[in-house]
Amino acid sequence: MKQLIRGRVWKLGDNIDTDVIYPGKYLPIIEPEEMAEHVLEGIDPDFPKKIKKGDILVAGTNFGCGSSREQAATSLKVAGIACIIAASYSRIFFRNAINQALPLVHSAEAVNLIDEGENIGINFEKGSIQIREKTLAFPPLPDVVMEILETGGLIEWTKKRLAARP
């Protein structure tokens, strides 16, 4: 994971559930690249074609609510979403996203200031979001979470830790 992310914003609302992020009818798909072809179809059937690598999602409260399906986080990551900024997340989605090395930022203030289509910058090292001429601080992710993200997700982090054992 890069410490500094710059990307175009897609703005979503409150209570974006996992069935909207990754519709249940696609659950039999197991290939991540094919999953990404259906991400956010619940909002817009053409959404998967609009996403570019490095784009950033901005959402309101309770992002990722609903089921515990890991495919929601996986499909977003593989589709190219670099980060999600939201006022709040469902706990299970938050954990699934970290497991998939998809960084999440909590900032209700940023959600209210960011407009769809604009380019913003996120600096994880400094814990800041650059929105036009304004810089906002956000609570930094714990060191272990940053390590998981930087390693490429929970599986890679676990492999690394096991390999380092005497």
Per residue in 15-35, pLDDT (tens digit) is 999 999 999 999 999 999 999
pLDDT tier at 3 (50, 70, 90 boundaries)?
confident
C-alpha span between 166 and 162 (Å, rounded):
9
- 34-85 pLDDT, tens digit per residue, is 999 999 998 999 999 999 999 999 999 999 999 888 999 999 999 999 999 9
Token pair in block for residue 67: 């089921």
Domains defined for the chain, CATH in brackets:
4-163 (3.20.19.10)
For CA atoms 124, 107, 80, 115, the dihedral sign is negative
Token pair in block for residue 120: 């913003």
Determine how many CB atoms are found less than 10 A away from the CB of residue 104. Answer: 20
Backbone angles phi, psi at 109, to 5 degrees: -65, -45
